[in-house]
Amino acid sequence: MKRWFKQKLGRDIMVVLYSFLVIALVGSALTYVYIENRLEANEARLRQLDERVDRLTTMWDEWQADQYDTRGYLLFGDTASLERSSANEAKFQQEINWFKTQVQTRQGELFAEDLQQFHDFYYDVIIPVTYEYAQAQQDGKITETFIDAQTIAELPTAQRLIDQGLVQFNPQRGIDILGPIDEVESALGEYRELMASEKEVVYAEWRQNNNMLQFLWIMSIASFAALILLFVQPFLRRQTRLISRLSIASNRLLKGEIVDLSDQMKREDEIGTMSRSFHKMAETLRDNERHLIEKNHELQAQQEELIAQQEELQAQQQELEEILEQTQQNEQHLAYRNELTETLASRDSLTAYPEIIEKLVTITDSEVGALVFVDESGTYRVTSHGLNDTLSRQLLDSENSVLTRAMTLKTTVHSSKQVASDHPLPYPYYMFETAVPVHDPTDDSIIAFIYLVRYKDRFTQTQMGDIMSFARQLSLSLLRMRLFEEMKREKGKTERILDSIREAVVYIDHSTDDVFVNRPLYEMFPELSDVSSQDLEEETWEEWRNRLVETVDQAEDFTKYTNRLFTEDFPHDSVSFSIRKGEMNLQMYAERIIVGGLSKGTLLVFRDITSETEAERLKSEFISTISHELRTPLSSIYGFTELMVKKQLPNEKQAKYLETIHSETERLTHLVNDFLDVQRMESGSQMYDREQLDIEPVVRDMLTFYEASSLKHEFELIADDARPYELFVDCQKFKQLMSNLLSNAVKYSPRGGKITVELAHHEQIVSIKVKDEGIGIPSDALDRLFDKFYRVDNSDSREIGGTGLGLPICQEIVRGHNGQIHVESIQHEGSTFIVEIPSYEYAVQEAETTPV
Amino acid sequence: MVKILLAEDEEVLRMLVMDTLEDEGYDIDEAQDGIEAYRLIEENDYDLVIVDHMMPGMTGLEVIEKVRKLPGRQETKVMMLTAKSQQSDRDCANEIGVDYFISKPFSPLELVKIIGGIVK
C-alpha cells in the first residue's frame, strides 16, 4: 500500500481529497435530508393548525346564523328560518365529527366533547322547544308579547326534558339555554388561543431548523477550505522542491559540474524516474565527451597517414592515365577495325568505299590512302583519302610507281623515298608507300589495290598484317557483293518473268515459310490491295490461304485441295473454282519445286479460265439450242409422215400435211445452212459471189413475204431517193442478211408493231436501217450482241427461239462486203439495226485500186 | 366427253396434235402461249393438259408451277411435250408436278395411245 503511494506523485493527496469529498458529500446529503424532513413536518403541522382554526371560525359563523334563524322564527314565526336552522344540524354534526377524528391533544378532545354537548343540547332541546312555543303561539294558545320563562317551562316538550333531566329549569328563562352557549363560547375561545400558541411553537421550531441548515452549509465550505490549506499546500511545496532540485542539477550539468542526485534517485515515483534518467544522461554525456577526445586524437593520426597515401595515389593515377590513353587509342583502333569489317560486310559496300579507305588510313596510322579498282580492260578507278592530283597522277601514270610495279609483279610492293619538297611537311621528309593487291578469290586475278602512304616511319609488321587481312576481306566482300548483285539481277529477272505471265503464282518456301506472289495474283484478287503490302509480306501461307478462300465460291473444294499440299497426298491434278460469286473462273494446280532431291518449296498456279469456261458454256448452250431448234421441224415431219403412212386420210389433209412437211424441211435446211455458215466463218473459207444489185426491189419483195406471214406486224419501206440503191454484193448473202434482220425484228416484237426498213444514200455508202418496236436490248448486252452463240438472257427473250447465230452471220456478211453493222436500242421500246455497205460505184472503184 | 388443253406455240405442231386427237373424239382447247394456257386452266377443269416447255410469255414449267397452286388443280393430269429431253429436265419437271414427259420428236399414234391410257 505504501509502495503504491510512492510509485506516483500526488497519489496520496488525491486519495485524501477524494475521501474527504466523499465524506463531505454523504454528510451533506444526510443532513440535508434530515433538515428537510423536519421542515416538512413543521410545515404540515402549521397547515393542520390553520385548517382547524378556519373550520372553527366557519362553524361558529354558521352556528351564529342558525341562532339568528331560530330567533327569527320565534319572534316572527318565519318557519323557513326554522327549517333552514334544523337542516344545518347534519352539517354541524359533520364538523364536530371531523374534529373528533383529528384531535391529538387533550384540549382538543375536551373541546370536541364540549361541542358535541352543545350540539346535542341545541338540537334536542332548544330547537324542539322553540318550535313548540312558536306552534303554540300560532295556534293562539300563547298570546304573550314577550317570552315568559314560565310559559316555556310549561310547554310539554320542555316539561318532558326537564323530567328527563336534560335541562334545568330557570325561573327567569324557563329553561337554561344560555349556560351551554356560554360554555361552548368560552371553550371555543380557549381552543382558539391554544391553536394560536401551538402555531407559535411550531413556527419557532421551523425557524430554528432553517438556521441550523444554513449553519451546516457554511461549516462544510469552511472545513473544505481548511482541508485544502492543510493538506495540499505542504504537498505542493514538497514536490516543487524536488523538481527545482532537478532544474538546478541540470544547470550545473550544463556548466559541466558534477551532479549528485543519489537520494532522489531512490524514489519510485516520476521524480525518481526523472532523476535516474538525468543521472544516466549526465553519465552518457561524460562518456561521450571522453570518447570524442580520443577520436579526435585518432583522426589526426589518420589524416597524416592519408596525406601520405594521397601523394602515392596521385603518382599511380598519372601512371594509369597514361595506360588509359593507350587503351583508348587501341580501343579506337579496334572500333575502326570493327566498323571497317562491318562496312565491308554490309550490303552497301559499293557506296561505302570512301569510308573504307578513310578508316583504313586511320587504323594503319597512314597519311594518305586509296582504293584502286582495276577492271578487265586494265583501267583504274580510284577512291582516295587525302590523295592530291599530283600524287594520284604519279601513282597511276608513272611506270615506276608502286602501283605499276605491284600490278606487274602481282604482289605487295613497298617503296621509300626522300621528298625534297616542303609540302605537306615544312621540311624534307621520307615517304613510305605500299601497294597491296586485292585478288579475286575465284580466279586469283587482281581486281584492286590498297595504296597507303606514311611520312615518318615504315609500316610496322602488325600494320602490314592488318593491311593484308583487309585486302583479303575486301576481296571476299567484293566477291560477295558481286554474287549479291547477280542474285538480285536474277531475282528481278524471275520476278519480271513471273509478273509478265498471265497466271497468278504463289510460291511457298519450305525452309522459311515465306510466301512470294506475282503481280497477276493481285489483279486476280483485288481484295488483297486492301491490305498493306508490308503486312502481306510477313504473312504465312496459312494466312494467305484464309485471305484467298474468302473470295472463293467453292471454298470447300479449295480448302480440300490446299490441305493436301503439305501431305503425302500431294495433288497432281488441278482444281477449278469460281471467285466473287462467279465473276471469274479459276483453275489451280500445284507443283513441288525440287532442287537436288530436296523439296524446296511449293508453287501454286492460278489460271484465269473465265473465257474458256464461258466459251464452253456458250457452246453447250448452242448445242442444246440447235437440238431444240432441230427437234421442232423434225417433230412435224416425223408426226405428219407417220400419220400419212399409218392412217387413212382424206386427200385435202394429205395435201396440207405434205405442204407442211415441205416447209418444215425447208426450215430444217435453213438451220443446217446457218450452222454450216458459222462453221465456214470460223474456218474463214466463206466466199462471196458479188454482183451489181439494186437492193430496193429485193427488200420490197421480202417485206411483202413477211407481211403475208405475220398478222400482228405492219411493214414499211422508206426509200425516197430517185437514185437506185445499188450495191456490189452476193445476192444470196444479202437476202440472208435482210432475212435475218427482218425475222429478228418480227421475233423480238412478239406483241406486234411497226417494222420499218429505211434505205438511204450517203457519200460512199448505202445505209439500211431495220427498225422494230419490240422488246429492245438491254444496254449491257449490246457489246456482245454480235458474238457467236450469244443470246440475250432475260425473261423477255428467253422464250424466243433462236440459234444465236443470226446476228454473227449478219455481221460476217456485212464485213465480207467491207461494211459495218451496229445497233441502237432502248429496252422495251425497240431496236434499230443499221447496216452500212459501200455503194456499188465506190466498191468497184476500191476493188480496182486495191491490188488483189 | 374428255376435255384436253393443248398449249403449243408452234402452229405446225399444234395442228399435228389437234388433228390426231380430234380424230379420237376428244374435246380440245388450244393455247398459243403460256399466259393463255394458264388462263384457260384457271377457267376450265381439264382432264389432261398438254404443254410445250418453250413458249413465249410463260414457259410450260412456269405455267404448271402456278397451276399447282390453284385450288382444285393439284390433281389435274399434266403432260409435257418438249424438245428438252435430258434427265435433269425430266427431274425438274417431275418435281414441279408434271405427270408425263414426252420428248420431241414424238410419234402421234403413240401419243394417242398414251393419252388413251391416261384419260380412260
Read off the pLDDT of residues A568-623 as tens digits, 9 standing for 90 and up. Answer: 889 999 999 999 888 899 999 999 998 888 888 999 999 999 888 888 887 787 77
For chain A, give the percent of residues with pLDDT over 70: 93
Non-local (6+) Cβ contacts of A556 within 8 A are none
Chain B residue with minimal CA distance to A647? Answer: B109
Burial of A738 (0-12, 13-18, 19+ CB in 10 A): buried
**What's the rounded Cα separation, in Å, for the pair B112 and B82?**
16
The helix or strand, by DSSP H or E, that contains position A409, with its residue range, turns out to be helix A402-409
Are A636 and B34 in contact (CB < 8 Å)? no
pLDDT reported for residue A178: 67
**What's the rounded Cα separation, in Å, for the pair A349 and A65?**
158
Taking the CA of residue A664 and the nearest CA in chain B, the distance in Å comes to: 9
- Centre a 10 Å sphere on the Cβ of residue A714 and count the other Cβ atoms it contains: 13
Burial of A72 (0-12, 13-18, 19+ CB in 10 A): middle
**What's the rounded Cα separation, in Å, for the pair A850 and A10?**
149
pLDDT reported for residue A799: 53
Cell numbers describing residue A754: 411497226
Q: How confident is the model at residue A296 (pLDDT cuts 50, 70, 90)?
A: very high
Taking the CA of residue A642 and the nearest CA in chain B, the distance in Å comes to: 7
At residue A605, the 3 state secondary structure works out as strand
pLDDT reported for residue A728: 92
Query: Residue A593 pairs with which residues in a beta bridge?
Result: A601
A28 alpha carbon, distance to own chain's centre:
79
Chain B residue with minimal CA distance to A750? Answer: B56
pLDDT reported for residue A170: 67
Q: How confident is the model at residue A349 (pLDDT cuts 50, 70, 90)?
A: low
Query: Residue A765 pairs with which residues in a beta bridge?
Result: A838
Average pLDDT over residues A43-50: 84
Taking the CA of residue A750 and the nearest CA in chain B, the distance in Å comes to: 8
Residue A852 has pLDDT above 60, yes or no: no
Q: How confident is the model at residue A351 (pLDDT cuts 50, 70, 90)?
A: low
Cell numbers describing residue A615: 466459251
Higher per-residue confidence, A408 vs A634: A634
pLDDT reported for residue A224: 80
**What's the rounded Cα separation, in Å, for the pair A685 and A734?**
18
Could you tell me the strand order of the sheet in which B27-31 lies?
Answer: B27-31, B3-7, B48-52, B77-82, B100-103
Which residues 750-779 on chain A approach chain B with CB closer than 8 angstroms? Answer: 750
Nearest Cα to Cα of residue A574 among A613, A532, A604: A604
Question: What sign for the dihedral angle of Cα A726, A729, A732, A733?
Answer: negative
Q: How confident is the model at residue A90 (pLDDT cuts 50, 70, 90)?
A: confident
Are B105 and A643 in contact (CB < 8 Å)? no
CB A756 within 8 A of CB A584: no
The alpha helices in B24-107, defined as continuous H runs, are 34-43, 60-67, 87-96
Taking the CA of residue A842 and the nearest CA in chain B, the distance in Å comes to: 44
Which residues 340-399 on chain A approach chain B with CB closer than 8 angstroms? Answer: none
DSSP state of A529: G
**Preceding omega of A424 cis (within 30 degrees of 0):** yes
A778-836: per-residue pLDDT in tens?
Answer: 888 888 888 766 767 665 665 565 666 788 889 988 988 889 999 999 988 999 999 99
**What's the rounded Cα separation, in Å, for the pair A747 and A607?**
40
Residue A71 one-letter amino acid: R
Are A638 and B55 in contact (CB < 8 Å)? no
pLDDT reported for residue B86: 78
Find the angle CA(A162)-CA(A168)-CA(A169) to the nearest 5 degrees: 85
**What's the rounded Cα separation, in Å, for the pair A10 and A4?**
11
Q: What is the CA radius of gyration of chain A?
A: 79
Q: How confident is the model at residue A292 (pLDDT cuts 50, 70, 90)?
A: very high
Cell numbers describing residue A200: 407559535
**What's the rounded Cα separation, in Å, for the pair A820 and A639?**
43
Residue A137 has pLDDT above 70, yes or no: yes
Taking the CA of residue A740 and the nearest CA in chain B, the distance in Å comes to: 19
Beta strands in A134-173 (DSSP E): 169-170
Q: What is the mean pLDDT of chain A?
A: 83
Average pLDDT over residues A4-24: 79
3-state helix, strand, coil in chain A (%, to 5): 65, 15, 20
Residue B8 has pLDDT above 60, yes or no: yes
Of the partner residues A624, A632, A647, the one whose CB lies closest to the CB of residue B13: A632
Are A627 and B83 in contact (CB < 8 Å)? yes
Looking at beta carbons, which residues of chain B come within 8 Å of A637? 105
Higher per-residue confidence, B20 vs A122: B20
Q: Which of A176-180, A273-277, A279-283, A346-350 has the lowest mean pLDDT?
A: A346-350
CB A249 within 8 A of CB A242: no
**What's the rounded Cα separation, in Å, for the pair A237 and A68?**
88
**What's the rounded Cα separation, in Å, for the pair A96 and A108?**
11
Taking the CA of residue A638 and the nearest CA in chain B, the distance in Å comes to: 7
pLDDT reported for residue A698: 93
pLDDT reported for residue B5: 94
Could you tell me the strand order of the sheet in which A713-718 lies?
Answer: A713-718, A753-761, A765-771, A830-838, A820-826
- What DSSP string runs through A391-407? HHHHHHH-TTSHHHHHH
A646-681: per-residue pLDDT in tens?
Answer: 988 899 999 999 999 998 898 888 788 888 887 777
Non-local (6+) Cβ contacts of B80 within 8 A are B50, B51, B52, B53, B60, B61, B64, B93, B98, B100, B101, B102
Are B16 and A653 in contact (CB < 8 Å)? no
Nearest Cα to Cα of residue A472 among A500, A497, A447: A447
**What's the rounded Cα separation, in Å, for the pair A156 and A129?**
9
Bridging pattern class, strands B3-7 and B27-31: parallel
Indicate the angle between helix axes A651-683 and A610-646, nearest 10 degrees.
Answer: 160
3-state helix, strand, coil in chain B (%, to 5): 45, 20, 35
Residue A143 has pLDDT above 80, yes or no: no
Chain A residue with minimal CA distance to B53? Answer: A799
Q: How confident is the model at residue A385 (pLDDT cuts 50, 70, 90)?
A: confident
Q: Is any Cβ of chain B less than 8 angstroms from the Cβ of A644?
A: no
Are A660 and B106 in contact (CB < 8 Å)? no
Which residues 649-678 on chain A approach chain B with CB closer than 8 angstroms? Answer: 653, 660, 663-664
B102-115: per-residue pLDDT in tens?
Answer: 988 899 999 999 99
B86-99: per-residue pLDDT in tens?
Answer: 788 888 888 888 89
Residue A424 has pLDDT above 70, yes or no: no
**What's the rounded Cα separation, in Å, for the pair A635 and A625?**
15
Q: How confident is the model at residue A695 (pLDDT cuts 50, 70, 90)?
A: very high
Average pLDDT over residues A322-348: 80
Are A643 and B84 in contact (CB < 8 Å)? no
Looking at beta carbons, which residues of chain A come within 8 Å of B12? 633, 636, 660, 663-664
pLDDT reported for residue A174: 61
Residue B63 has pLDDT above 60, yes or no: yes
Of the partner residues B15, B20, B104, the one whose CB lies closest to the CB of residue A631: B104
pLDDT reported for residue A802: 63
Looking at beta carbons, which residues of chain A come within 8 Å of B13? 632, 635-636, 639
Higher per-residue confidence, A744 vs A3: A744
pLDDT reported for residue A795: 55
Higher per-residue confidence, A846 vs A315: A315
pTM: 0.41
**What's the rounded Cα separation, in Å, for the pair A752 and A714?**
8
pLDDT reported for residue B39: 94
Cell numbers describing residue A342: 562491318
pLDDT reported for residue A771: 95
pLDDT reported for residue A696: 92
The helix or strand, by DSSP H or E, that contains position A507, with its residue range, turns out to be strand A504-509
Q: How confident is the model at residue A699 (pLDDT cuts 50, 70, 90)?
A: very high
Are B54 and A799 in contact (CB < 8 Å)? yes
Are B59 and A631 in contact (CB < 8 Å)? no
A212-223: per-residue pLDDT in tens?
Answer: 888 888 888 888
**What's the rounded Cα separation, in Å, for the pair A517 and A827?**
45
Higher per-residue confidence, A661 vs A133: A661
**What's the rounded Cα separation, in Å, for the pair A626 and A622?**
6
Burial A547-580 (b: 16+ CB within 10 A, else e): ebbebbbeeeebeebbebbeeeeebeeebebbbe
Chain A residue with minimal CA distance to B52? Answer: A632
Chain B residue with minimal CA distance to A661? Answer: B12
Chain A residue with minimal CA distance to B59? Answer: A799
A466-486: per-residue pLDDT in tens?
Answer: 888 888 888 888 788 888 889
Looking at beta carbons, which residues of chain A come within 8 Å of B54? 628, 799, 801
Taking the CA of residue A617 and the nearest CA in chain B, the distance in Å comes to: 16
CA-CA distances (angstroms) from residue A475 to A203, A380, A743? 146, 16, 84
**What's the rounded Cα separation, in Å, for the pair B41 and B74?**
11
CB A674 within 8 A of CB A813: no
Nearest Cα to Cα of residue A771 among A816, A846, A825, A845: A825
Looking at beta carbons, which residues of chain B come within 8 Å of A639? 13, 16-17, 20, 105-108
Cell numbers describing residue A598: 530436296
The alpha helices in A255-370, defined as continuous H runs, are 262-265, 270-345, 353-363
pLDDT reported for residue A504: 92
Are B108 and A800 in contact (CB < 8 Å)? no
Average pLDDT over residues A501-519: 89
**What's the rounded Cα separation, in Å, for the pair A475 and A754?**
90
* CB contacts < 8 A (A, B): 66
**What's the rounded Cα separation, in Å, for the pair A594 and A510?**
11
Taking the CA of residue A635 and the nearest CA in chain B, the distance in Å comes to: 4
At residue A578, the 3 state secondary structure works out as strand
A536-578: per-residue pLDDT in tens?
Answer: 788 888 888 988 898 999 999 999 999 998 888 899 999 999 9
Higher per-residue confidence, A657 vs A80: A657
| Phi-psi domain of A731 (left: phi exceeds 0; alpha: psi -120 through 50; beta: other) | alpha
CB A742 within 8 A of CB A755: yes
**Which of B6, B10, B11, B12 to probe by mutation at the A interface, max A CB count within 10 Å?**
B12
Of the partner residues A624, A633, A635, the one whose CB lies closest to the CB of residue B106: A635
pLDDT reported for residue A716: 93
pLDDT reported for residue A460: 84
Average pLDDT over residues A407-413: 85
Beta strands in chain B (DSSP E): 3-7, 27-31, 48-52, 77-82, 100-103
Cell numbers describing residue A353: 568505299
